[in-house]
Amino acid sequence: MSVVKSAAAAEDVIVIENLNKWYGDFHVLRDINLRVKKGERIVICGPSGSGKSTTIRCINRLEEFQEGSLVVDGVEMIDDVKNIESIRRDVGMVFQHFNLFPHLTILENLTLGPIWVQKKPKAEAEAIAMKYLERVKIPDQADKYPGQLSGGQQQRVAIARSLCMNPNIMLFDEPTSALDPEMIKEVLDVMVELAEDGMTMLCVTHEMGFARKVADRVIFMDAGQIVEENEPEEFFNNPQNERTQLFLSQILNH
Amino acid sequence: MDNYQPIPARPAPVKTVGAVAWMRNNLFSSIPNSIVTILIATFLVQIIPPIVDWAILSANWTGTKEADCTRDGACWVFINAWSQQFFYGSYPTEEIWRINLMLVLLALVMIASFKLPKAIRMKASIIAWLALPFIGMAILDGRLLGLPVVSTDLWGGFSLNVFMAAASIIVAFPFSFLWALGRRSDMPFIRSVSVIFIEFFRGVPVLSLFFMGSVMLPLFFAEGTNVDKLIRVWLVLIFFMSGYMAEVFRGGFQAVPAGQYEAADSIGLSYWQKILLIILPQVIKVSMPNILATFVMLFKNTTFLLIIGIPEVVQTLQTALSNSYWLGGHAVEGYLFVFFVFWASCFGMSVMSRRIERKLNTDKRD
């Protein structure tokens, strides 16, 4: 395993051991092993269908798995509903298609979790929401509805919505794939800031510039397996595996 | 190089706007179209004046008895003379204010669900709606409120149609939502019970259900209990309606993207928080046109209640038509009146549902 840049706290917040998952007969995840330390930033890339989204969706139990073990924040993810809900409160997730709640205003989108899950008073929840809206630089949109915002703004709201729950870990599932080129940067900027603040992040993305800039480790997946993992410089300049070389040549040379 | 300058918007060419252009585009765009336009225009010219003449110009408007209808046209005196029966059935005249009070309450709750301040609107209007059928029942019946008891045999007329339809759909609403949830459940027992229920009430004619309600249902009650016929029919309407609405809601559930469930899960909402706060409002939004269509169907189906001898509006009309003082043959006026009353109500609801849809539509940009 490679050297880790920011091993300030050497505590593993995510431990995945021999994870296997099937959709019916189809073996989607094969012997996944992954340890993530507190504060570590990990970028997962790979061709479509390689299981990268499925892997991070297992971490907050949006997907179930059949074999292996998964420990998040010291809690083993088993079929216990209480466990799952408490883990979900600690793990924020940002989706490719934002998935904001279209019938609620931006502010209501952000305060929903703090009010209903964390049982905070409304005023406090709104103060938290405004703090994070300012952090993603759109406090002036608080009273609009998601449908009135651009894609980039919606994705920043989605990030703020996760942050309002004060998570220890943030999962990003292709956060910029559905955005127009002009809007990718504004979302990546927010993510870079978040990384600089020391958030533990797992990010499925094809933004290789982002990976070089903030990742401690880059993981390459293909056909449900982790093919290669390394720190970004080594990963991009000196990929070991033939499959990785082919993938990188395809996404970097166009 | 010149600076980029946006081109200002120009008005559309004159030929494409205005009444003449509209007529050319829509009525006379080709020779066959022009022929059809002329044929339809001739037909309308032939048919409209006699109708206007019969219904308005030579109609009889004033009077109290059949003998007052001396002119050739429609005898609206008939409707006038029987209007209390048509609207309130045989409900005692001095107690009719109770029916009016019930209708006013219905209207108030309707207005409240639009106009209350946003903070309490949801909670307050849901509670008000769910309480309304039972409050209405108490007002009409009177015994719980210390008013003179009016037996359900005397309830009737159009107000009964309105009351039965409204009371059924309100109670059916939460049930149908649960049936739809059940049908999507992962648990085989709950799913099959829901499927059987929904398919039974959708697959059986409503008339046979009414007969079942009035004749068969009493056989299932414990001996000695005597459940009022109107209540039994109300139960039947609730079951029937919730079967249909469950399917409407199921369509709505399918229109909510999986990402909404995942986003709700990812912020840690519990199952019921997710369903009630995130999914249900979106389901109602996409289902609104179909909810209205189902309600209109149910509302009109309440006229079938005459088959089992409940004096709803068509039943009272038939009583009026066979009354020995009014044997002049006023069926046309009577049925036209019923058409109009139902049409006006349904059109009103349709306007209201469009308003609700607009209110729920948050997708528009400023």
- Sorted by where each starts, the structural domains of chain B and their CATH numbers stand as 76-91+150-360 (1.10.3720.10)
B253-262 burial code (b ≥16 CB/10 A, e <16) = beebeeebbb
Judged by CB atoms closer than 8 Å, whether chains meet at B362 and A145 is answered as: yes
The pLDDT assigned to A9 comes to 45
B281 touches chain A (CB under 8 A): yes
What's the pLDDT tens digit per position in B321-342? 888 888 777 888 889 999 999 9
Q: Is B275 on the interface with A (CB under 8 A)?
A: no
Query: What is the tens place of the pLDDT at every residue in B110-144?
Result: 888 888 887 788 788 889 999 999 999 999 888 88
pLDDT for the residue A90: 87
Q: Given the DSSP bridges, would you call strands A200-204 and A41-45 parallel, antiparallel or unpaired?
A: parallel
Mean pLDDT confidence for B88-103: 90
The parts of chain A modelled with pLDDT lower than 70 are 1-10, 79-81, 253-254
Quick one: pLDDT at residue B110? 87
Task: Give strand pairing partners of A72.
Answer: A14, A75
Instruction: Please state the separation of Cα A24 from the chain's center in Å.
Output: 26
- What predicted TM-score, i.e. pTM, was given to this entire model? 0.81
Interface residue A170 vs chain B (CB under 8 A): no
| CA–CA dist A25, A8 (Å, integer) | 42
Residue in chain B closest to A96 (alpha carbons) equals B259
Contact status of A41 with chain B (Cβ, < 8 Å): no
CA of B130 to nearest chain A CA: how many angstroms apart?
Answer: 23
Would you call A71 helix, strand, or coil by DSSP? strand
Closest-approach residue (CA) in chain A for B276: A116
Average pLDDT, chain B: 87
Chain B residues touching residue A165 (CB < 8 angstroms):
267-268
Contact indicator for A23, A30 with CB cutoff of 8 Å: no
Q: Is the pLDDT of residue B15 over 70?
A: no
From A64's Cα to the closest Cα of chain B, the distance in A is 13
Of all residues in chain A, the one with the smallest CA distance to B263 is A99
Distance from CA of B255 to the nearest CA of A (A): 13
Q: Does B261 touch chain A (CB under 8 A)?
A: no
Those residues whose C-beta lies under 8 Å from the C-beta of residue B214, and which sit 6 or more positions away, are B229, B232, B233, B308
Chain B contact for A65 (CB, 8 A cutoff): no
Tell if the CB–CB gap between A88 and B267 is shorter than 8 Å. Answer: yes
* Residue contact A99–B267, C-beta within 8 A: no
Cα–Cα dist B261/B184, whole Å: 14
Contact A162 B362 (CB under 8 A): no
Distance (Å) from the alpha carbon of A3 to chain B's nearest alpha carbon: 31
3-state SS track over chain B: CCCCCCCCCCCCCHHHCCHHHHHHHHCCCCHHHHHHHHHHHHHHHHHHHHHHHHHHHCCECCCCCHHHCCCCCCEHHHHHHHHHHHHHCCCCHHHHHHHHHHHHHHHHHHHHHHHCCHHHHHHHHHHHHHHHHHHHHHHHHCHHHCCCCCCHHHCCHHHHHHHHHHHHHHHHHHHHHHHHHHHCCCCHHHHHHHHHHHHHHHHCCHHHHHHHHHHHHHHHCCCCCCCCHHHHHHHHHHHHHHHHHHHHHHHHHHHCCHHHHHHHHHCCCCHHHHHHHHHHHHHHHHHHHHHHHHHHHHHHHHHHHHHHCCCEHHHHHHHHHCCCCCCCCCHHHHHHHHHHHHHHHHHHHHHHHHHHHHHHCCCCCC
**Angle, CA of B76, B80 and B83, to the nearest 5°:** 130
Mean pLDDT along residues B242-257: 93
